[in-house]
Structure 1
Amino acid sequence: MDLPEFDRALLHAVEVLRGGGAVVVTNPSPLTYGVVARDARAVNLLRGRPVDQPVAISVHSEAAHDQLFHYLDLPTDVLATIDFALAERISVLAPIRSDPTMPEWLAPAIKDGWVLFFDGYWGPMAYLWESHPFLYGSSANRTSEAPVTSAAEARAQFPADTMIIDADDRRTPAAAYGARTIIRVAPDGGLTLHRPGIQDQAAGGPEVLLDRLREFTSALAVLDGSISTPLGKTYLSTAVVEDGVPKQLAPNTRIRLGFARVPNKNADGPRVYDVVRADVGCNSLGTSVAAGELLTDGRLSIPGLGGTQVGCLPPLREQEDWLKTFLTSKPSWRLNGDELALASGGTTITLLDRKIAEPDFPLDGIRWKVVTTITNADLRHHRYHAEQAWISFDGGHLTGWSGCNEHSGVVTRNNTELTFSQVAIPDRACAAETAEVEAAILATLGPAVAYTIDHNQLTLLAPSGIGLDLKAAKPVAYA
């Protein structure tokens, strides 16, 4: 069955982005259209500007958002205010620390120690945004031309071969359109207007908008207090005690709790949420509440937990029910350095920062086994009948086994990307699913491959959207 025209346009747009091109995208009312690309130079080329001119970056994925926030040179109590601004579709100019571990992809959005960023995600075009962890962007207009307020204006202003996503019928008509307001956040957390835009106009003026943001900061300060919180970190259990007696969890399981503060991408509800995620060996559980209301008065206030619906074996199901009951009982919490303690009704759970409890494996010297292949940047495929494939790194060299062929190559790296070259593999056919794994490996091992390591898991993702999930062959011992 043929896809609707809009869905076909989204698919085409994603292919254009993966090919290094720029796309003109519709924004929700009352914003004007925008230009986005995976390569900052493509944004400037389409707009008729110098290719090396700094651009803004959309940090619409959780991973990109968290990486950027890690390097912002700001007090922690102002970060939620920035999330509030992002949820209001305001752009932010903020100071950023000079750090050799900073991701290379941030560089095009940085000028003189300041980074310009926004959250471009819009529900009707979720497929486009979710296909890329970050995108460079700017307003959609050629140099000296007026900002674009409709698809017809975009077609009139840009070259005929420009990819334009027409979603005018998916946004509410507005009396006036305009570009995003840009706020400037000083190193001490002070807020000023950097560039006027449609948000401050709609608010009744720049000072009205800024006062609203400042009031949000003050309100959170009252709720959060002056003590440190576990927000932004994940913790793993090291001990559970019930009525003074150690409680043994099911074999090869431990409690994992993650805390985050995130902007609300929907029009309704609080503009910023505090989120908790939990699992103890079966389902992924979680909930969200208005920012500042999760960790109030020294207690963890969870109204309920939703999650996946995997059928657990009885020991895991009972353990999960026990954890749900505990977490929803408003346990007290106490943070002591990297250690978090929760207590309720005679039960105490002690947890340790995941980065300490399970430090990330190094890239080199590990045999990384292929677990799944990836297509379209986020679709995972398990090849249950394939022979086990693996990859290993040793400085500038790559070796591996596809399941039926050895392979080798040269690799260069920065802190976020790998570039493979001179990849050699015998011309010997593999059988069935093993051939599919080998094809995925060869398609992944090229230039500008993004890589991330999360404890013992490595993800490689090529610009084409093809990639691999791998796991360290070294066994992991549970505490």
Structure 2
Amino acid sequence: MPVARFDAAGKAAIDEALERGEAVVLPTPSPLAYVVAAKTAAAVNRARGRPRNHPVATWEPRFDRLAPHLALDEMERRRVGWLLAVERVTVLVPQTRDVAAPSWLEPAARYGMAVLFGVAWEPLDWLLERHAPLFVSSANRAGALPAVDLRQAVATFGPEVWVLDGDSLRDRARPHTSTTTLRFVPGRGWELHRRGIQDTLHVNAGRSDYLADVLSRADAALLRQPLPRRQDGRGVRPARRSRASDRDGPSLLARSHRPRPVIT
């Protein structure tokens, strides 16, 4: 059973698997689920049993490498950086058309939009510093829930895929699942594209609209302003849900007059 511990030998095993072009299963910080990552999209999709060209997300925590390829103004770029690094959501954002997309972004892009996963976490700094950008997807098979601990990850992927055991670094008493996905639509602004752990916890706590709240917190942090006394979404466009499956990890197909990317 290919389980790697958080020690020198385990890190070496994960490092070598990535260098060989294989996918690995990695923990992410609570309350996020485990993910599948690799240096190619084909390896991620092979591990999940999907077509090799199925869209995935790009995992690049160095936002300065992403920013030139996003068709956003300066404020929205700063928001995206905060949403990825601090809120740890996944974002679906428009790409620039006048700058050629690098090879590490193309598998995460469809119809002029790119899916970005930007989680930075100290226990994985050594891996991301060496291998990012990676391609990433939820640690599950199609139609199943994402793995939230080592046992589920091993049961899902079997002996073919290395799993890095991060259970001791996570709060297993908390609910876990894949990230919320937010989408920026030119002319409309930010929308809730796919439900995930961040907005679910927000709702379960009986708090106000998640999209309005997260944008208020982003702006307060970026502009160094205090949060408004009421977080009821005034002045912020209400969240709009895409019609999409909420089960299959980070994978959603928004149904509209124009096809949207499927990311899992």
Report if the CA contact (8 A) 1:30-1:174 is conserved.
no
Partners of 1:73 and 1:174 in 2: CA distance: 40
The CA distance in 1 between the partners of 2:118 and 2:98, in whole Å, is 23
**In structure 2, what is the equivalent of residue 80 of structure 1?**
78
Q: How does 1:349-428 map to 2 (within 5 A)?
A: none
- TM-score, normalised relative to structure 2: 0.76
Q: Give the match for residue 214 of structure 2.
A: 213
**Contact 1:78–1:217 (Cα < 8 Å) also in 2:** no
Alignment of 1:278-289 (within 5 A): none
User: What's the secondary structure of 1:84's corresponding residue?
Assistant: helix
* Alignment match, 1:252: none
Please tell me whether residue 197 in structure 1 is matched to residue 196 in structure 2.
yes
What is aligned with 1:41? 42
**Post-superposition CA distance 1:296-336 (Å, at most 9, x none):** xxxxxxxxxxxxxxxxxxxxxxxxxxxxxxxxxxxxxxxxx
Whole-angstrom distance in 2 between the partners of 1:57 and 1:208: 28
Question: 1:186 aligns to what?
Answer: 185
Superposition deviation, residue 184 in structure 1: 0.4
The answer to whether the 8 Å contact 1:40/1:136 transfers is yes
CA offset digits 1:316-364 (Å, max 9, x no partner): xxxxxxxxxxxxxxxxxxxxxxxxxxxxxxxxxxxxxxxxxxxxxxxxx
State how far apart, in whole Å, the 1-side matches of 2:124 and 2:8 are: 9
Query: Given the superposition, is the C-alpha separation of residues 19 and 75 from structure 1 closer, same or farther in structure 2, using an over 3 Å criterion?
Result: same
More helix per residue: 2
Counterpart check, 1:101 vs 2:100: yes
User: Cα distance, 1:207 vs. partner?
Assistant: 6.4
Q: Name the amino acid aligned to 2:215.
A: R
SS at match of 2:192: strand
More strand by share: 1
Aligned residues: 217
Per-residue deviation, 1:182:
0.2
Distance apart, 1:130 and its partner CA: 1.4
Match of 1:69 in 2: 67
Determine if contact 2:60/2:118 at 8 Å carries over to the other structure: yes
Q: After TM superposition, give the deviation of residue 152 of structure 1 in Å.
A: 1.0
1:138 corresponds to:
137
Q: Name stretches of at least 5 consecutive residues in structure 2 with no aligned partner.
A: 225-264
AA partner of residue 44 (structure 2): V
Q: Output one character per residue of 1:395-416: Cα deviation in whole Å (capped at 9) or x when no partner.
A: xxxxxxxxxxxxxxxxxxxxxx
Contact 1:36 1:43 in 2 (8 A): yes
Cα gap change, 1:217 to 1:154, in 2 (>3 Å): closer
Aligned equivalents of 2:208 and 2:192: distance in 1?
A: 8
- Paired residue type of 1:60: P
Q: Which has the higher contact order (CA 8 A, sep 6+)?
A: 2
Q: Distance in 2 between matches of 1:10 and 1:133?
A: 15
Structure 1 contact 24–165 (Cα < 8 Å) conserved: yes
Amino acid in structure 2 at the alignment position of 1:112? Y
Structure 2 residue identity aligned to 1:7: A
The one-letter code sitting in structure 1 at the alignment partner of 2:24 is V
Q: What is the correspondence of 1:211-360 to structure 2 with a 5 Å cutoff?
A: 211-216=212-217, 219=220, 291-292=222-223
Q: CA deviation at 1:75?
A: 2.0
SS at match of 2:88: coil
Q: Conserved in 1, the CA contact under 8 Å of 2:36 and 2:44? A: yes
Alpha-carbon distance change, 189 to 10 in structure 1, aligned in 2, over 3 angstroms: farther
Q: Which amino acid aligns with 1:73?
A: A
Q: Offset of 1:189 from its aligned partner?
A: 6.8
| Partner residue in 2 for 1:373 | none
- Give secondary structure in 2 for the equivalent of 1:183: strand
The amino acid that maps onto 1:33 is Y
Q: Following the alignment from structure 1 to structure 2, what is the Cα–Cα distance between the partners of residues 17 and 30? A: 25
Contact 2:69 2:99 in 1 (8 A): no
Query: How far apart are the structure 2 equivalents of 1:28 and 1:99?
Result: 36
Q: Which amino acid aligns with 1:77?
A: M
What secondary structure does 1:204 align onto? Answer: helix
Contact 1:25/1:165, CA 8 A, preserved across alignment: yes
Report the counterpart of residue 127 of structure 1 in structure 2: 126
Query: C-alpha deviations, 1:400-438, integer Å up to 9, x for none?
Result: xxxxxxxxxxxxxxxxxxxxxxxxxxxxxxxxxxxxxxx
Identical columns (%): 34
Amino acid at match of 1:12: A
